[in-house]
Structure 1
Amino acid sequence: METAALVVALVIVLALFFDFTNGFHDTANAMATPIATGALKPKTAVALAAILNLVGAFLSTEVAKTISGGIIREDQISGEVFPSLIFAGLIGAITWNMFTWLLGLPSSSSHALFGGLIGATIVGLGVHGIDFGVVMSKVVLPALLAPLTAGIIAFAATKLAYAVTRRYDGKPDGRDGFRWGQIFTSSLVALAHGTNDAQKTMGIITLALIAVGWQNHPEPELWVIFAAASAIALGTYVGGWRIIRTLGKGLTDVKPAQGFSAEASTAATILASSHLGFALSTTQVASGSVIGSGLGRRGSEVRWGMVGKIFVGWLLTLPAAGLVGGLMALLVVWSKNAGLGVTGVIIDAILATIAIVFLFLRSRKDEVHAGNAMSEVAVSGQAVELDENPPPTPRQQRAMEEKAARKAAKKKTKGADK
């Protein structure tokens, strides 16, 4: 029992650290576009997102139940070895999160978690330990449909926003009001993120407690909810500035109307999925929304090279995290078969610490922070007013030329009078 308690304690600590990485990895989902357009100052944005992630984590537990009582078959969630496999799976998820954060790629923390957990379970218990029906219906299909749906909604919303405000095309501040709207929609995305992503850690901790017989239902306990909510809020406040830079200006040049549309689409998609218990990737939804909004604004350019890199990252997330989780699980199985107790878990913990420290130190060589993540914002904040408006029509151009000619003639006449 003492060994089980030690392993569960390690699982809880590592799960909360994963939640922390999830927070700073996914801050960009809500706050990249309002930071890019100047609607919110960087530090204000991440502080607001942290508070709303904390609140959102208390609003629903449907996704937590999907993790704790769905992906792994219930008859396999027992025995002292299973928490060790969860520990191995978490290492796979955290390693991938840190690696993609270093690259500035908005990959899915959720799929990293699922991949690590599935890989470790297959190695430790066999393929029969996974309920692939649940994986397909509540993980894979949402991963395919959610970003596409969000992109289509954002495309339509952007088209509508520009159509409704077309009469302001000739005015410098015609669409500046969307910046205020972005504060609301980005806040809604942060709240929605808390209702979905924080629950995944709750589900993992609950899964470990069920495995050792300390809990007999998939509903997370209040202390688990509070701990997970606090961890993701803290991570959000730290801010994943590398990924904020990618989503804010790496995919397309985001204007206020676009940002408003993208965030509204992201929030609607995440909230609907949380209600249905779909453990989707908020990162994929946010990325799909930004791309859709870029396609919806006339004259904007979507940087398809970056889109391709992100897509490759999406494809690799499940298998890469699964591979690392599986390798860590091999050490757990070896330790068990050799009668070495928790030696495998301790080795896993040492290897995970080395990997995390290495990736963090590597990030310090080209550090991205609140001061330089959006170094062009000061310029773009002024440029938005000009870029928002399309070139003048021929009629407007002629009127401007005639006005300039009249001014010049008037000035010439005054000069002649003198």
Structure 2
Amino acid sequence: MDTFALIVTIGVALGFTYTNGFHDSANAIATSVSTRALTPRVALLMAAVMNLAGAFLGSGVAKTVSQGLIETPSGSRGMAILFAALVGAVVWNMITWYFGLPSSSSHALFGGMVGAALAGSIAVYWMGVVEKVVIPMFLSPLVGMALGYLAMTAILWMFRRANPHKAKRHFRIAQTVSAAGMALGHGLQDAQKTMGIVVMALVIADVEDYGDQIPVWVKVSCALMLSLGTYAGGWRIMRTLGRRIIELDPPQGFAAETTAASVMYTASFMFHAPISTTHVITSAIMGVGATRRIKAVRWGVAKNIVMGWFITMPAAALVAAVSFWAVSLFFG
């Protein structure tokens, strides 16, 4: 196996993690910034640190990505497939970032893997794709919206006699904790996805085996790149999540973040399912906003976001397939 090809593929994987960080930093902090619970730079620094910590909390999601979606390819062709999958994910991340669309970096990666695998004529584990990607893709936003609505309804009832100004002040403080929990969950989910890709590259190169533990250097490098990308910030997407869907106040921000973090921890620890942090926090914001009144949510903006969710996997798959055909000669 060409060592250069392995190094290039791992480099692109870490580059994807960086784009994942600045693309998805809004997931963790948009609500806290929009409600002025945290200043943007403080929020980004906190999110970067918690992303770093979350990356070391487990490995179940990484194993799902590396073993549960496509057949592990071999040789230079296998490395070309992995490289092309990453290119598809990175390109789609950059396109959606440019337009301020909070799409899923996770599903861009999964789409890239499927598209490159099909172009490279290796097996796709369709049952694994359906169970681990497609079903959570539909289920997690519904759960996030429903739980967000219920959480906000409970808060409104519990604090119905409280002084509104005092309550908002206290919820701004509470949002520091909920935003940290959201960032920790983001690290737990998204850093592991890249760890799974790097492990696949090492297996293809006969450097590691799936029976081994994830090397410490893989965990550290993926976590650091995600944190650096997070600190770089994703201001375009932050405006969409924090203000364009609905104007959030501190209690709503706290409810949305707490809901999303709870869904992510449950998916990670109980099901090892690689869910989209973007889908969960966006749907939680919609559910929380609907408690004010249905028309308070800008459903036109929400519709565009959801449409972006549906086209993410096929679009990334198409880019990955084209990339494979373009680079197969280079890796061959």
TM bucket (normalised to shorter chain) is over 0.9
Does structure 1 residue 287 correspond to structure 2 residue 286? no
Report deviation, 1:298. Answer: 4.7
State whether residues 48 and 187 of structure 1, in contact with CA within 8 Å, keep that contact through their aligned partners in structure 2.
Answer: yes
Corresponding pairs, count: 330
Q: Distance in 1 between matches of 2:69 and 2:294?
A: 44
TM-score normalised by structure 1 residue count: 0.77
**Aligned match of 1:138:** 132
User: 2:298 and 2:200 mapped to 1: Cα distance?
Assistant: 41
With a CA cutoff of 8 Å and minimum separation of 6, indicate the structure with the bigger relative contact order.
2
How far does the alpha carbon of each residue in 1:349-377 deviate from its partner, in whole angstroms, 9 at most, with x for none?
xxxxxxxxxxxxxxxxxxxxxxxxxxxxx
1: CA distance, partners of 2:140 / 2:129: 15
**CA offsets 1:80-127 (integer angstroms, 9 cap, x no match):** 21011110111110000001000001000000001111101101124x
After superposition, residues 153-168 of structure 1 pair within 5 angstroms as 153-168=147-162
Q: Which residue is equivalent to 1:115?
A: 111
Q: Unaligned stretches of 5+ in structure 2?
A: none
TM superposition shift of 1:172: 3.5
**TM-score, normalization by structure 2:** 0.96
Instruction: Specify the SS of the correspondent of 2:168.
Output: coil
1:262: which partner in 2? Answer: 256
1:204 and 2:197 aligned: yes
| Aligned ranges 1:268-283 → 2 under 5 Å | 268-275=262-269, 276-283=271-278
Give the whole-Å Cα distance in 1 for the aligned partners of 2:235 and 2:155: 28
Please give the alpha-carbon distance, in whole angstroms, between the structure 1 residues aligned to 2:331 and 2:78.
12
Matched AA of 2:59: T
What letter matches 1:27 in structure 2? S
| 3-state SS in 2 of match to 1:80 | helix
Shift of 1:300: 6.8
Structure 2 counterpart of 1:46: 44
Larger Rg: 1
Structure 2 SS opposite 1:125: coil
Deviation at 1:331, TM superposition (A): 2.1
1:328 to 318, 323, 330: 323
* Native 8 Å contact 1:162 1:297 kept in 2: no
Structure 1 Cα separation of the partners of residues 139 and 254 of structure 2: 22
**Cα RMSD for the two superposed structures:** 1.4
Q: Which residue of 1 aligns with 2:209?
A: 216
1:20 partner amino acid: Y
Instruction: Report sequence identity in percent.
Output: 42
Consecutive unaligned residues in structure 1, runs of 5 or more: 336-340, 344-418
1:205–1:174: structure 2 CA closer, same or farther, 3 Å change rule? closer
| Structure 1 Cα separation of the partners of residues 303 and 286 of structure 2 | 12
Q: What's the counterpart of residue 88 of structure 1?
A: 84
Report the Cα offset of residue 59 of structure 1.
0.7
Q: 2:300 matched to 1:305? A: yes
